[in-house]
């Protein structure tokens, strides 16, 4: 058995419980945050698969994590099992052949990851790294409840008094969902029973937003081209280890090398009775001689030597590219196209959308950076969407779900507001001059009229309303912006750079490829022109960006 997207779970025989390696897979293969708080060691023997496997309750349409790893469970550190899940699973079920095979597959996957010396990502981060004080695992966003409690200083009261205070905070704008997700209501119930007095700091310490911690990750895939060989120069290379020793009359010289990682191809020549014979060596970044499939060092052609080099580089220095999955649905001509996923990796229940395999995608954003008419840089949103929120609304409409239930997904009502908060903060962090998003008519045209009413409502009403509310304290408001879009040619990103084609058709003839967008513009055909599209947006001055990053936004509200 090999770990793959289709083999990430195994059910314990005769039980509603199972084991899941999904969060491990998402971390290693999709760049998701490491939720296990345990780094994968470069020494495979130190990687206990039980520490990277979640115990889960499995049902027909998904799974719910129980809050403990297999290692915790085996060592008696169980999570509190939900009443609906019944009794904890029987540890004897771990001896089944299916479970043993599953754990061996996880161990093998950890070995593969341990051999990676680095993962090269061709994308920037959405935000800088979070710190321990970032409640929601992301900088610039905060809890209104926690801020209010901090302002109460040394206030002390009993449970009943604190309950009245907290309810009064709801009347002053605190969102009920934030209060429910904090865990403070359960704490207050226990406090009322005890009759003890606690301080505001103790109330603050009792807040637990761990299930609502956010992660913003790009949609990435492994590059097809791991190395880029160029003709060798007088560059000094490390001596190859275990390479066949040169024989009398034999010559060896480097013909190609990768300037980033240092892999190289050497040509070996020696004279025989039948003339000059040539073979090739593949040498790694650290001077290792790479063998072929039969463990031989000499290759018959440079092609096979290069293939061995690329295979080794893919294993040890895999390169990921953030080209997304749905870039055909975006206007061409932009720079740094990204598809960002706002996820809830710690939330125990699991939701899977039809668009992405990552669990618990609260919202997805498709965007790039493009020029405005005054040479300003605009972070252009081609799409914002929440399959989770739509699925939740549908379930409510069909009376299949109760929004008041504790297991109801967090932030589903807040998704559009939260998404635009994150986008504005990302734009401020990137230092762009404006944020723009398509009009409803653009979306209707893109999807050929499907869902026209909902698209116009989201892009022309909901998003402008939310953004106006968010930026009003900064003294600015939504306006119409202009962005340039190619009309009779296309510029699109690929692993090789920016490709220019003669028309907007997918299979149009390739005119040229360049490393940057500016260089790619040299290949624009005669008569190629761009149209200035009017879009919704908001301008961000340098001062506004600075204040926005300093003050941040509340997650709720």
pLDDT, tens digit, for every residue of 430-467? 999 999 999 999 999 999 888 999 999 999 999 999 99
What is the rounded CA–CA span in Å between residue 47 and residue 38? 10
Contact of 359 with 345, CB cutoff 8 Å:
yes
Contact of 316 with 469, CB cutoff 8 Å:
no
| Per-residue three-class SS string for 57-103 | EEECCEEEEEEEEHHHHHCCCCCCCCHHHCCCCCHHHHHCHHHHHHH
**SS3 at position 399:** coil
Mutual angle of helices 184-194 and 159-171, in 10-degree steps: 150
**What are the pLDDT digits (tens) for 484-497?**
999 999 999 999 89
Measured CA angle at 429 (ends 428, 430), to 5 deg: 90
129: Cβ contacts below 8 Å, ≥ 6 apart? none
What is the rounded CA–CA span in Å between residue 372 and residue 376? 5
Strands 335-343 and 215-218: antiparallel
Q: Show the tokens assigned to 293.
A: 């499939």
351: Cβ contacts below 8 Å, ≥ 6 apart? 62, 359, 360, 361, 388, 391, 409
Contact of 520 with 500, CB cutoff 8 Å:
yes
362: Cβ contacts below 8 Å, ≥ 6 apart? 214, 342, 343, 344, 386, 388, 389, 411, 412, 415, 418
Which residues of the chain fall below pLDDT 50?
82-84
Neighbours of 190 (CB within 10 A): 11
What is the rounded CA–CA span in Å between residue 255 and residue 171? 74
**SS3 at position 534:** strand
**SS3 at position 537:** strand
Residue 262 Cα distances to 117, 317, 405, angstroms = 14, 12, 57
């Amino acid at each position: 058995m090999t770990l793959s997207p289709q083999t990430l779970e195994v059910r314990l025989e005769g039980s509603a419980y199972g084991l899941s390696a999904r969060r491990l897979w998402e971390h290693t293969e999709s760049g998701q945050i490491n939720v296990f708080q345990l780094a994968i060691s470069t020494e495979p023997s130190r990687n206990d698969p039980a520490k990277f496997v979640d115990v889960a309750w499995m049902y027909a349409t998904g799974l719910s994590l129980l809050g403990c790893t297999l290692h915790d469970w085996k060592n008696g550190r169980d999570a509190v099992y939900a009443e609906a899940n019944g009794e904890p699973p029987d540890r004897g079920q771990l001896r089944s052949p299916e479970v043993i095979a599953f754990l061996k597959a996880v161990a093998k996957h950890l070995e593969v990851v341990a051999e990676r010396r680095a993962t090269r990502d061709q994308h920037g981060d959405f935000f800088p790294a979070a710190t321990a004080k970032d409640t929601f695992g992301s900088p610039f966003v905060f809890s209104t409840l926690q801020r209010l409690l901090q302002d109460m200083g040394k206030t002390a009261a009993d449970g009943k008094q604190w309950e009245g205070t907290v309810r009064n905070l709801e009347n002053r704008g605190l969102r009920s969902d934030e209060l429910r997700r904090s865990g403070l209501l359960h704490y207050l119930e226990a406090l009322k029973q005890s009759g003890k007095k606690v301080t505001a700091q103790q109330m603050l310490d009792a807040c637990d937003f761990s299930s609502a911690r956010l992660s913003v990750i790009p949609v990435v895939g492994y590059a097809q081209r791991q190395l880029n060989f160029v003709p060798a120069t007088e560059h000094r290379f490390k001596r190859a280890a275990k390479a066949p020793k040169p024989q009398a009359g034999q010559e060896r010289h480097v013909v190609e090398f990768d300037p980033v990682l240092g892999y190289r191809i050497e040509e070996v020549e020696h004279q025989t009775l039948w003339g000059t014979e040539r073979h090739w060596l593949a040498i790694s970044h650290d001077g290792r001689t790479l063998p072929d499939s039969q463990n031989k060092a000499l290759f018959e052609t440079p092609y096979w030597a290069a293939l061995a080099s690329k295979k080794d580089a893919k294993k040890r220095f895999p390169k990921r590219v953030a080209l997304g999955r749905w870039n055909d649905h975006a206007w061409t001509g932009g720079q740094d196209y990204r598809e960002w996923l706002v996820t809830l990796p710690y939330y125990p229940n699991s939701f899977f959308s039809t668009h992405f395999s990552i669990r618990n995608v609260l919202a997805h954003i498709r965007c790039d950076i493009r020029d405005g008419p005054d040479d300003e840089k605009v972070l252009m949103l081609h799409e914002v969407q929440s399959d989770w929120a739509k699925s939740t609304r549908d379930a409510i409409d069909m009376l299949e779900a109760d929004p008041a239930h504790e297991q109801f997904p967090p932030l589903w009502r807040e998704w559009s507001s939260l998404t635009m908060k994150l986008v504005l903060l990302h734009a401020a962090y990137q230092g762009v001059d404006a944020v723009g998003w398509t009009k409803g008519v653009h979306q209707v045209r893109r999807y050929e009229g499907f869902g026209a009413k909902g698209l116009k409502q989201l892009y022309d009403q909901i998003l402008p309303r939310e953004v106006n509310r968010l930026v009003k304290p900064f003294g600015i408001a939504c306006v119409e912006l202009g962005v340039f879009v190619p009309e009779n040619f296309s510029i699109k990103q690929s692993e090789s750079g920016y490709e220019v084609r003669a028309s907007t058709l997918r299979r149009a003839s390739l005119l040229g490829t360049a490393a940057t967008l500016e260089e790619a513009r040299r290949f624009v055909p005669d008569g190629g022109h761009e149209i200035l599209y009017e879009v919704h947006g908001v301008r961000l001055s340098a001062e506004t960006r600075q204040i926005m990053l300093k003050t941040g936004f509340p997650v709720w509200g």
